[in-house]
Amino acid sequence: SAVISQKPSRDICQRGTSLTIQCQVDSQVTMMFWYRQQPGQSLTLIATANQGSEATYESGFVIDKFPISRPNLTFSTLTVSNLSPEDSSIYLCSVEDLDRGTSYNSPLHFGNGTRLTVT
């Protein structure tokens, strides 16, 4: 399975600032996915990031708040802008695990996430 490295693993940020989270994969992948997990909750998909095109955002998430970059097939960043305490969550990057299936049924492989606390 692909090895996913997320940086930072955790951070404490002040209200009104921004945090950029990096996701590095050790192999080339077509699609990368960004999820959010609020305290005590399940995971919610923020957006899908394809290399060479604009990210596709899920309902309730907008580019101005969560800009995403995907400069190549092994790297992506998620920025959480204008932070408020409600943004305190774990943010997770994931990619398809093509070793365990085809592009139509491959499972996702997740990093360990970035734990963000906004004060």
Partner 1 sequence: DAKTTQPPSMDCAEGRAANLPCNHSTISGNEYVYWYRQIHSQGPQYIIHGLKNNETNEMASLIITEDRKSSTLILPHATLRDTAVYYCIVKPSAGANSKLTFGKGITLSVRP
112 binds partner 1 (CB under 8 A): yes
Report the DSSP beta bridge partners of residue 95. Answer: 32, 109
Cβ distance to partner 1 smaller for residue 87 or 111: 111
Report angle CA 47, 100, 48 to the nearest 5 degrees: 5
Instruction: Specify the DSSP class assigned to residue 82.
Output: S
For the chain, what is the radius of gyration of the CA atoms? 14
Choose the stretch contacting partner 1; rule: CB under 8 A; options: 14-22, 63-71, 78-86, 108-116: 108-116
Minimum distance, C-beta of residue 16 to partner 1, in the bound complex (Å): 28
Per CB under 8 A, residues contacting partner 1 are 4, 30-31, 33, 35, 42-45, 48, 92, 94, 96-97, 100-101, 103-113
